Amino acid sequence: MKKLELLAPAGDLEKLKIAVLYGADAVYLGGRQFSLRAGAANFDYDDMLQGIEFAHSQHVKVYVAINIFAHNVDLTGLPEYLEFLVGAGVDGVIASDPGVIDTIMKLQPELPIHLSTQANTTNWASTAFWKRMGVQRVVLARELSLEEIKEISSRVEIELEAFIHGAMCMSYSGRCLLSNYMTGRDANQGDCAQSCRWKYHLLEEKRPGQYFPVEEDARGTYFMSSKDLCLIEYIPQMVEAGVSSFKIEGRMKSIHYLATVVKAYRQALDAYINNPAGYHINQQWLDEIRKVSHREYTTGFILGDKGRTATVNPGQNSYTRLASFVGLVQSYNKDTGRILVQQRNNFKVGDRLEILSPTGENQMIDVTDMYDGKTGETLTVAPHPQQVVELSVERVVKPMSMLRRLE
């Protein structure tokens, strides 16, 4: 069996650490330039050095996105940036622009290149072309079926990476101009305003001011808003088709989202690796990934139905979730039997909370007491954002565990 990789997003240094601790084999991130997630906090040079050092200490790889479609001005600082990345010890870069890829090959030929999904690779001939250009891995377009992936794998010997979970774009491989046209924010430069998620009505030319819902819904419709991808049930089929890196979308998602999804897919992938023939879906994994904020899940194009299951969801713009993240555990004091928690959402004495740990089973706790983490003062509620409090627990709780309230 090929070595299988669980690849998780890292929007900032905290998220990188969460992804690593909750089971990722590799993380992908972006710097303050050249990256297609301008809305994420991203990494300055110091954060990137810290993140790479932390990931490597846990035997986790780090890939850096340089996946914008570069304009002339963007090329000015590229040589220096590439030199920094090589010096920092990154394990690869993700790129889509031929000019950027050519620059990497000329200046840093030993730096592994992963072809971004933005290059919309949908066939074996394109895959073979990019291999000849020096690309070591291709991040496949989301629009491919299992059969199409299998043919690419059988014809071209190259690493294949595919998205397995997360938000999808209604446009082909994310190549969209709506945001640029409507707001001046260029999606292909990492600044998408997500215009496809907005609410739209129909306006007839000779009836100005009269707005008609596209469907029979008084609130309008979100007819371009895509469902979210979830392929946890199809890991065996994806492996058999030739996928070796399973990519989770979400550099702009919360740490709770990241921890929950990464842990569920870690457990699923390990279950397959340990017993490929006996792999079966665990209901707990499905329950977990429904606890995070998400749109309705879909299998996308992977089953070969031309995306009929991936069509937009006209009635849903908002997210649904089954749990609310309320606190991040910083430490456990065995002498007092208390955990130190940084509050991320309101909770109080009397609440019943679930603990999500980096490893092991979840556990429930009742909040029976609460103390100010600095003064020791007795509290009944954690009222201030990111306030640090202490709670009594009956068992050991690992640092970086998360407290959440089930809805």
- The domains found in the chain, sorted by start residue, are 5-173+225-310 (3.20.20.70), 323-406 (2.40.30.10)
Among 107-121, 230-244, 291-305, whose mean pLDDT is lowest? 291-305
Under the phi-then-psi rule, with left for phi > 0, alpha for psi from -120 to 50, and beta for the rest, what region is 340?
A: beta
State the amino acid at position 86 in one-letter form.
Answer: V
Give 3-state DSSP helix, strand, coil % of the chain, rounded to 5: 30, 25, 45
- pLDDT (0 to 100) of residue 176: 67
Does position 259 have pLDDT exceeding 60, yes or no?
Answer: yes
Does position 220 have pLDDT exceeding 60, yes or no?
Answer: no
Rounded average pLDDT over 210-217: 59
DSSP per-residue letters across 219-234: T-B-TT-PPEEE-GGG
Does position 296 have pLDDT exceeding 90, yes or no?
Answer: no
For the segment 56-88, what is each residue's pLDDT rounded down to a tens digit?
Answer: 999 999 999 998 888 898 899 999 999 999 999
Rounded average pLDDT over 236-246: 97
Band of the pLDDT at 3, cuts 50, 70, 90?
A: very high
Residue 55: name the closest of 82, 28, 85 by CA: 28
Percentage of the chain beyond pLDDT 90 is 70
Question: Are 298 and 227 contacting, i.e. CB atoms less than 8 angstroms apart?
Answer: yes
Residue 389: name the closest of 363, 369, 406, 404 by CA: 369
- pLDDT (0 to 100) of residue 314: 47
For the segment 153-201, what is each residue's pLDDT rounded down to a tens digit?
Answer: 999 999 999 999 998 776 656 666 677 767 877 666 567 777 766 777 6
- pLDDT (0 to 100) of residue 320: 83
